Structures are given as structure tokens and as C-alpha cells.
Amino acid sequence: MASLSEDDYICPVCCEIFKNPVFLSCSHSFCKECLQQFWRTKKTQECPVCRRRSSKPDPPPNLALRNLCESFLKERNERRSSGSEEICSLHSEKLKLFCLEDKQPVCLVCFTSQKHVNHTVRPIDEVIPSYKEELKTALKSLQEKLKHKEKMKGEFEKTVRHIKSQAERTERQIKQQFEKLHQFLRDEEEATITALREEEEQKKQMMKEKLEEMNRHISALSHTIKDMEEMMKASDVCFLKEFPVSMERVQISSQPDPQTPSGALIHVPRYLGNLPFRVWKRCRTSSRTWLKGWFDLHKINRAKENLKLESISC
């Protein structure tokens, strides 16, 4: 592990120390989550480094690299906690200088080595203030971004709650409006059936009177027939005496039969003919006031919604 530098433990995708590393058939290794995210973005299973396609949707873990990374992190943490990072790992000298090209602390021996030829170096205590100021500025920017994002998150959560409240309120209003329509249809149904029953009673009463008249005719005719049959059995003298009266009764009984009155049947088209249109027409006529109230309420609700949206956006 001593022959490896920190760069050997860096994932090429996230540029951080490997976490749960996996390796492809091309021998390149990546964090498992980094690779999966890369594949989801690219929508193709290829190596992020060499672009070679992988035949395995779930690459095997690189256990050896994972162990090396864990050991490296443990060793680095121990160095930081003991303060040994202030000593050059190559020359065991104190790290007093900072290489501006390589962006890393160096010792005096490092500075004179071939690796740092023509490099600009400064004492660490000189570069620390400017770098700390730069980091402080970057940190402040990140803190402001965090604060802004938390504020936006709060606004989003508030909007979600408002959407839920808006949907529930709108659902109640829809049910109320449709209940009014249903009630109007029920009232129209009841009124139409009531009119039908009234006409039924009128027509039945009219036919009842015609039936009573027909019963009277039948009764009178039955009596006349019975009397004629009795007269046929009488003596000749009696028959001749009663004949003129009997013929007169026959003439009276031969009057035309009562006729079925015009319009005796229920006028069905009056109730069923073009029923939806007639109901809609009455609905339109009788609901103008209701519609005006509905539109007024709609305008009020729109104004309230706009105010709420303005308060949310603020």
C-alpha cells in the first residue's frame, strides 16, 4: 500500500475515495452508485473511462480495492489525529513550504528535488491566510446557497400543502354543485311524474263516466230484450196491443253507442318526447340566478387563490 498514492484510491466519476468499489471487464473500477448513476444518465452500460460496453448489469465488487481504501482511510485518520501529517512521508522533514503548482505542502528536500524544479513555493504561513480567506468566501457562498435551498424547500412544502387543501376544497365544491344539479333533476322528475299522475286521474275519471253511461245502456238494453222475449210468449191479442210500444223501445235502444272520447289516452310524448332537451331548457331558464351566483363565487375563489399564490411566492 505504501507504493500507492492517494490518487489510486480516487473514483474517476465522483473524484472521492472509493465507496463499495466494483470493477468492469475492462479492469476499471468505480463506486457502485457512481457507475449505476452514470449508466442511468447515459442509458447505456459502458465504462466511463474507456467507453467499452459491459455485459453485466451488476458488476462484481472489487473486494481488494475496498480493503485498500478502508486501510488508507484508517491510516490517514490516524495521521491526522496524531499530527504526523506535518512530516514529509518521503524525507521525514517538516512540511514548511507550499508548492503553488502542485497545490500541496512540501519539505525543503522536496523543494530541491527534480519533481519540483521551476515550481513556485511559498512558506506555509504565508499562503494559509489567503487560502483560508478563499475557503471562507466559498464556505459563505455555500451557506447562503444552503439557506436559499432550505427556504425554497419550505416554499415547496407550503405549495404541496396548498395543493392538497386546494384539491380538497375544489372536490367539496364539485360535490356541492353536482348535488344542486341532482336535486334539480330530482325535482323535475317529481314534477313530471306528478303531472303524469294528474293526467292519469283525469283520463281515468273521464273513462269511468263513460263506463257508467255504457252500463246504463247495457242495463236498459237487457231489460228491453227481456221484455221482448216475454212479449213473444204472450197471446196474439196482447202481443198486438204491446207491439207499437215495443217497437218504440227498440228504436230508442238502437241509438248510437257512446264513443271513446277524443284524447282519452295519456299523451306519452308530452312526457318522454325530447325529455333531455326540455329539462335542459328549464334548467337554463330557472338556473340563471344560480349560475350568476356560481360565477360570482368562482371569481371570489379565483381572487383568493391568486392572493394565496402571491403569499407563497413571497
CATH number at residue 47: 3.30.40.10
Which pLDDT does position 1 carry in this prediction? 40
Q: List alpha helices for 87-123, DSSP H.
A: 108-111
In this structure, the chain runs to a length of 314
Per residue in 91-108, pLDDT tens? 778 888 989 888 889 888
State residue 303's pLDDT score. 62
pLDDT tens digits for 150-180?
Answer: 999 999 999 999 999 999 999 999 999 889 8
Q: Alpha-carbon distance 144 to 72, whole Å?
A: 34
Q: How far is the C-alpha of 232 from the C-alpha of 254, rounded, in Å?
A: 19
Distance in angstroms (rounded) separating the CA atoms of residues 95 and 85: 8
Last residue of a domain, one of 30, 56, 83: 83
At 119 the three-state DSSP class reads coil
Q: Which of 83, 98, 113 is the last residue of a domain?
A: 83
Alpha carbon distance 30, 46 (integer Å): 12
The mean pLDDT value for 256-281 works out to: 77
Give yes or no for residue 310 having a pLDDT over 60: no
Pick from 54, 83, 112: which residue ends a domain? 83
Residue-level pLDDT at 2: 45
Work out how many domains the chain is built from and give that number.
Answer: 2
Residue range of the domain that includes 196: 191-313
